[in-house]
Structure 1
Amino acid sequence: MPAPEILPDTPEGHTRAAALLKEGRLVALPTETVYGLAADATAPEAVAAIYAAKGRPSHNPLIVHVPDLATAQTLATLPAQAEALARAFWPGPLTLVLPLKPGHGLAPAVTAGLPAVAIRVPAHPAMQAVLRSLQGPVAAPSANPSGRISATTPAHVRDGLGDRVAAILDAGPCTVGVESTILAPGESTTRLLREGGLPREAIEPFTGPLVADTTPGARLEAPGQLASHYAPRAPLHLGGTPHPGEITIGFGATMGDLTLSATGDLAEAATNLFAILHQADALADQRNAPAIRVAAIPETGLGRAINDRLRRAAAPRD
């Protein structure tokens, strides 16, 4: 199979990406959070190809990306709380889990058979351009093998998926660096299904205190809820004193072989997180290191999303 076609971040590249999606092909597209493995969300065979390419469990639903609120309203019902959140934070790193509308037209595998759909309006101009050229919804989980480190650069996509993706739209590194926050707005409370690029502190003025429901039982409601996820090949340990030979990732005053942010800046750490994990994994392989150890990260703001990813990356592997 040929290597993936590398598309430029130009009008021609956007049009080519949309044309491939219309043909039922998989295209890695940039968002402000991570690169997504995109397919036409209305095409069952294309959506099935996402699951096959990633090795993703069929019960793990996908996020649908649309260009604007009006398009989201054709697919799902937005209660008042959901619409207020959408108007405040879309486009941006927020996903809402919403009841499907009759006649929505999405492939059944997108929602993993659930009666609700996870929808986001991405802010990245290249992703927006492709969505508007396609004139249809796109399903796009992170562009990496299931359970492994998410992709924030075209090189991560190529190294992880190779010829399983037809093309990669190269818009450089992602700026937010961790996936979107996922909420399920209800009549009286809003549940937090995944920590992400929009911190609780920004959301709770609109919703009141969020009810965390980030690791459910057997039935997943949203992506990113699996206990083991985002994992490097090497074992990952959080905090504590490094053992001999381990690859260390620092934060702030805690130094390491690599660092998420030498100044202790959580936004910088979030942007760098997956790229640093990829580098640490490569370094562990080169040195035959027994493990990777990450310095403690404050459990506040974007630190919650960083720690969520790190805890899942450190969890026992299935």
Structure 2
Amino acid sequence: MNKQTLLLLKPDQPGLTRAADILAQGGLVSFPTETVYGLGADARNDHAVAGIFAAKGRPSFNPLIVHVGSLAAAQAICDFNGDARHLAAAFWPGALTLVLPLRADAGISRLVTAGLNSVAVRVPDHPVAAALLAAFGGPVAAPSANPSGRISPTIAAHVSAGLGDRIDALVDGGPCAVGLESTIVSCLGTPTLLRAGGIPAEAIAACLGQPLATAENPDAPTSPGQLLSHYAPKGQVRLNANDRKRGEVLLGFGPVEGDLTLSATGDLTEAAARLFERLHQLDTMGATQIAIAPIPDHGLGRAINDRLRRAAAPR
């Protein structure tokens, strides 16, 4: 695609009005959410949505998340059952994406859903995202604003470095507080965890009063974030490392000290918020062999380990 000059916008009223205008004209705008920076396009515009796939180099069979400003806006594009209403009441706005039946009159581009009769939707909990959605007044399809398969962006500089010559505008809203993508739960039947993320699965199960079913990674993804090789730094990754081998750079956690650390105190919330930033730093360092310390596989650790397993997957 043709290279273009990136328009940097402030998260103030003039900047958000300009960003909304670009979305309305079919352009691509990156903006912050509480999870990571998203790459937004009008979810009703086939050409605009196709631009997301082109900019990211993303497979067209991989669905996108639709971001809306309210539960009412979500109900205009998908059908909610009791479980979905319960989860939306408990966790929206927030880092939870629900996969629900697509309404026949939703007007959502079929490219967003990869031709499926379901759609992934969430209400983000970030003042800049909320203000942009309000200014635009419609649904915004927005995967993470990074080249497909690479590390997700948690600051504006990550977006500029990865996609700066492929998109129209970037709203700089500072660092993302959560630092991991949203948790994705399918409510098409039995509530099923499709992707671990910013809200622990244990909290969702407690809200529902039942454990979540789990889904294997399908050949044809039913939601974003299910491709095996994903979130990858440039170097090869070795997991569950308690020390470094020759030539490796060690990313530590807790008692395992490294060249960098996710959290010296073993705090999973801190580790989640730092994960993608540390992976970006490893790229900047030129690390070709990366060892990563063990992470407890509970709470946010489950989401961290999910991202690390994908980062370490064969490419």
1:247 aligns with 2:249: yes
Residue identity matched to 1:299: D
Tell me the SS of whatever aligns to 2:83.
helix
The aligned runs of 1:1-318 (5 Å cut-off) are: 1-187=3-189, 189-207=190-208, 208-216=210-218, 218-240=219-241, 241-283=243-285, 285=286, 289-317=287-315
Residue identity matched to 1:239: N
Shift of 1:290: 3.7
| Cα distance in structure 2, aligned partners of 1:57 and 1:230 | 15
Tell me the SS of whatever aligns to 2:181.
coil
Residue identity matched to 1:316: P
Query: Do the aligned partners of 2:4 and 2:166 also contact (CA within 8 Å) in 1?
Result: no
| Cα distance in structure 2, aligned partners of 1:4 and 1:176 | 26
| Cα distance in structure 2, aligned partners of 1:10 and 1:249 | 37
Q: What are the ranges of 5 or more consecutive residues in structure 2 without an aligned counterpart?
A: none
Tell me the SS of whatever aligns to 1:76.
coil
Q: Which moved more, 1:46-55 or 1:204-213?
A: 204-213
Tell me the SS of whatever aligns to 2:76.
helix
- CA displacement, residues 111-154 of structure 1 (integer Å, 9 cap, x when unaligned): 00000000000011101001011110000000000000001111
Query: Do the aligned partners of 1:281 and 1:292 also contact (CA within 8 Å) in 2?
Result: no
Tell me the number of residue pairs that the alignment of Structure 1 and Structure 2 aligns. Answer: 311
Query: Do the aligned partners of 2:41 and 2:141 also contact (CA within 8 Å) in 1?
Result: yes
Tell me the SS of whatever aligns to 1:273.
helix
Tell me the SS of whatever aligns to 2:171.
strand
Query: Do the aligned partners of 1:81 and 1:186 also contact (CA within 8 Å) in 2?
Result: no
Task: Report sequence identity in percent.
Answer: 57
Tell me the SS of whatever aligns to 1:64.
strand
Query: Do the aligned partners of 1:76 and 1:100 also contact (CA within 8 Å) in 2?
Result: yes
- CA displacement, residues 2-27 of structure 1 (integer Å, 9 cap, x when unaligned): 43111111111111110110111101
Shift of 1:200: 1.3
| Cα distance in structure 2, aligned partners of 1:316 and 1:197 | 25
* TM-score, normalization by structure 2: 0.97
Query: Do the aligned partners of 1:191 and 1:210 also contact (CA within 8 Å) in 2?
Result: yes
- CA displacement, residues 243-282 of structure 1 (integer Å, 9 cap, x when unaligned): 1121111111111111111111100100000000000122
| Cα distance in structure 2, aligned partners of 1:87 and 1:141 | 23
- CA displacement, residues 167-204 of structure 1 (integer Å, 9 cap, x when unaligned): 110011100000000001255x3100000000012111
Tell me the SS of whatever aligns to 1:37.
strand
| Cα distance in structure 2, aligned partners of 1:296 and 1:51 | 34
| Cα distance in structure 2, aligned partners of 1:143 and 1:290 | 24
| Cα distance in structure 1, aligned partners of 2:246 and 2:17 | 51
- CA displacement, residues 84-131 of structure 1 (integer Å, 9 cap, x when unaligned): 100110000000000011111011100000000000000111010010
| Cα distance in structure 1, aligned partners of 2:216 and 2:27 | 32
* TM-score, normalization by structure 1: 0.96
C-alpha RMSD over aligned residues: 1.0
| Cα distance in structure 1, aligned partners of 2:171 and 2:206 | 36
Alpha carbons of structure 1 residues 134 and 214: separation in structure 2 relative to 1, 3 Å: farther
Query: Do the aligned partners of 1:3 and 1:163 also contact (CA within 8 Å) in 2?
Result: yes
Shift of 1:205: 1.4
